[in-house]
Amino acid sequence: MGDNDGKVYRSELTPVDFLRRSAYMFPEHEAVVHGDRRYSYKELEERVNRLASRLRDSGLEKGDRVAFLCPNIPPMLEAHFALPAAGVVLVAINTRLGKDEVSYILEHSKSKMLFADKELEHLADDVDVEKILIHDTGEAGDPYEDYLAEGSPEPIPSVLEDEEEVISINYTSGTTGRPKGVMYTHRGAYLCALGNVIEAAMDYETKYLWTLPMFHCNGWTYPWAVTAIAATHVCLRKVEAPRIWSLFESESITHYCAAPTVQIGIVNADEAKKLDIHVRAMIAGAPPSPTLLSQLTELNIDPVHIYGLTETYGPITTSAPRKEWENLEMDERAALMARQGNAFVTSDLARVVDDDGNDIERGGETMGEIVMHGNMVMKGYLDNEEATEEAFEGGWYHSGDVALWHEDGYIEIRDRSKDVIVSGGENISTIEVEQAIARHDSVLEAAVVAIPDEKWGERPKAFVTLKKGKEATEEDIITFCKERIARYKAPAAVDFVDELPKTSTGKIQKFVLREKEWSGRESQVN
C-alpha cells in the first residue's frame, strides 16, 4: 500500500502487504518453526515491525542498503519484510563465499549495515560497516534480539511511492569475473510470489521446509509466497538429510525446493522411506535426471521441474506434466518431465532464439538461446549499465542457456553457452551426456566438461561419484554411454571422485573441473 496519487483503485504492489494481511487474517496461525521456537503470524509481524522501526530510527534513508549474512533462520525471513517496510533494500549474501567476495559485495552494494550470524561473522571481520550479530537464540542477550527489543511492535508508515522501486539486490555467483548485483522490484517480487503460490499449488495449510537458501534469489521469492497464503515456514540451519527426513514427518511438510544435487542427497539418504503424505518438491538449478525423478516419485515426493536464473527471481518456467504422459513408462515419462518451457502464469512466454534474435525452428536439431521478458525479469544490474545493456540486448533478457525447442512447445536445456563442447565441429551437450551416465545403476552423480584433444579440438570427460557399495569401471561407463547416445558424445575419459565441486546452491562448478584439465593453456576453448 504505497503512495499512488490518491487513486482509490490502485495500491502499489509490494509483498510487505502479504504479511500485513496474513497477520490480520490468521494471527494465531503458525508462521515460523525453528527447532523449539515457534512464532505465530501475529508474533512474526511484531518482530518485523520492531526491526523495521528500529532500522528507520537508526538514520537510514530510503533506498539505503542493508546486508544479511545468515542461514535459513528467522531473522533472515524477518529481513524480507522489515527492510522493504522500512524502505531499505535487502542485500542477502551467499553464506559460502570467501572473505574477499563478501567484502566486494558489501562495498559494491554500499551496504550501510550488516546483520551476520555469529558462525559467519568471520567472513566480514575486517569490513568497516556497522554490524549486528545474530546468535540465533531468540532470547534476550542475543544482539539481534536486543536490537529488536529497541523497536516498536507497531507498523511504521510505508514510504513506497512506486512499485518499480528496488526491494532487494542479489549477487550472481560469478563463476567468471566479479559477481553482479541483480536488482529486484517490489512489483516483480509481488507477482513472482503469486506465481510461485499458483505453480507450486500452495494453500493456507501448506508447511514449507526451507531447504533452499534464502540468500539465493531471495529463496526464489518463497519468503513472500509462503507468507502470502499464511502458510508455515519451517526453518533449517543446515541442509542435512537426516534432519530433513525427521522434519518431513514431525512437521507434516507439504512443500520444499532444492537443486537436483540436494535432491539426490535426500533420496539416497539412509533415512529415506516412502512418505505417508505426498510432498511437493520444486526442482531447479539444473535439469533433474530421469533417475532422480523416478526415485522421488517412488518416495511419494511429487517433483515439479522448474527453471530460471538469478536474473528472473529464480524460477520463471515450469514443466507442466500432461495427462497423456501418465501411461508412459517411467523412464520415458521422466525424460519428458525433465524438459522445460511453460512460462509461469505471471510471466511472458519464454522463447528460444538464434544469434539474430529470431525464434529457432521448433522440432529442429539446432540449439538456440533461451530469452525472457516481462514482470519476472530483473530491473537490471546495480551500477553496471554495460552488463545490463548486454543482457537486455534486443529488448529481451538473454539467459545464456542453450536449448532445443520441441514441437509441443517444451524447451530442452542442453547447456550453459560456455559449457557446450565443440568436438570435430559438432556441438555436444554436456547435460545430455550426464543424463546418459546418470541412468547407470551404480552412478550417484556425474559432471561432464570439455577436455582438449589434438584431433577433435575438444572431447567430453566425465567426473563420476558412485552410490554407496556400488562399483563401475571407466570402460563400463563409456560402453554404457555408447549404447545410449551418439558414439562421439560418449566420454573420452572417466574420473571417479568422492565428491563433485559445488556452489552453495548445489550447482556443480564445472569451471573448477575444467580449469584442472586445461591448466597451463591460455584459453579453455580449443
Binding site residues, a copy of itself, CB under 8 A: 1, 6, 8-11, 13, 17-18, 20-21, 24-29, 164, 185, 187-188, 194, 197-198, 201, 203-204, 228-229, 320, 322-324, 342-343, 345-346, 348-349, 373-375, 377-380, 392, 395-397, 409
For 57, the grid coordinates are 530510527
Q: Find the shortest distance in angstroms from Cβ 17 to a copy of itself.
A: 7
| Phi, psi dihedrals of residue 171, rounded to the nearest 5° | -85, 135
Q: Find the shortest distance in angstroms from Cβ 455 to a copy of itself.
A: 43
SS (H, E, C) 339-356: CECEECCCCCCCEEECCC
For 22, the grid coordinates are 496474513
For 232, the grid coordinates are 508455515
Q: Find the shortest distance in angstroms from Cβ 250 to a copy of itself.
A: 18
Q: Which residues, listed in sequence order, are joined to residue 67 by a DSSP beta bridge?
A: 91, 114
Q: Residue 95 or 388: which CB sits closer to a copy of itself?
A: 388
Q: Residue 253 or 490: which CB sits closer to a copy of itself?
A: 253
Q: Find the shortest distance in angstroms from Cβ 229 to a copy of itself.
A: 7
Q: Find the shortest distance in angstroms from Cβ 181 to a copy of itself.
A: 15
- Dihedral through CA 483, CA 486, CA 487, CA 493, nearest 10? -90
Q: Residue 72 or 232: which CB sits closer to a copy of itself?
A: 232
Q: Residue 8 or 140: which CB sits closer to a copy of itself?
A: 8
Contact present, 230 and 29 (Cβ < 8 Å): yes
Contact present, 69 and 99 (Cβ < 8 Å): no
For 12, the grid coordinates are 502499489
Q: Find the shortest distance in angstroms from Cβ 240 to a copy of itself.
A: 30
Q: Residue 219 or 380: which CB sits closer to a copy of itself?
A: 380
Residue 238 CB neighbour total at 10 angstroms: 8
Least Cα distance to 96 among 130, 123, 132, 67 occurs for 123
DSSP secondary structure code for residue 365 in this structure: S
Q: Residue 208 or 392: which CB sits closer to a copy of itself?
A: 392
Chain center to CA of 513: 22
Q: Residue 147 or 344: which CB sits closer to a copy of itself?
A: 344
Chain center to CA of 340: 16
Q: Find the shortest distance in angstroms from Cβ 264 to a copy of itself.
A: 27
**d(Cα 437, Cα 444) in Å, to the nearest integer?**
9
For 440, the grid coordinates are 547407470
Q: Find the shortest distance in angstroms from Cβ 194 to a copy of itself.
A: 5
User: What is the separation, in whole angstroms, between the first and last Cα of the chain?
Assistant: 55
Q: Residue 279 or 472: which CB sits closer to a copy of itself?
A: 279
- Residue 220 Cα distances to 97, 147, 182, 301, 337, angstroms: 19, 28, 13, 20, 21
Contact present, 151 and 57 (Cβ < 8 Å): yes
Q: Find the shortest distance in angstroms from Cβ 48 to a copy of itself.
A: 16
Q: Residue 380 or 460: which CB sits closer to a copy of itself?
A: 380
Chain center to CA of 173: 11
Q: Residue 345 or 497: which CB sits closer to a copy of itself?
A: 345
Q: Is 302 exposed, middle or buried (0-12, 13-18, 19+ CB in 10 A)?
A: middle
Q: Find the shortest distance in angstroms from Cβ 351 to a copy of itself.
A: 11
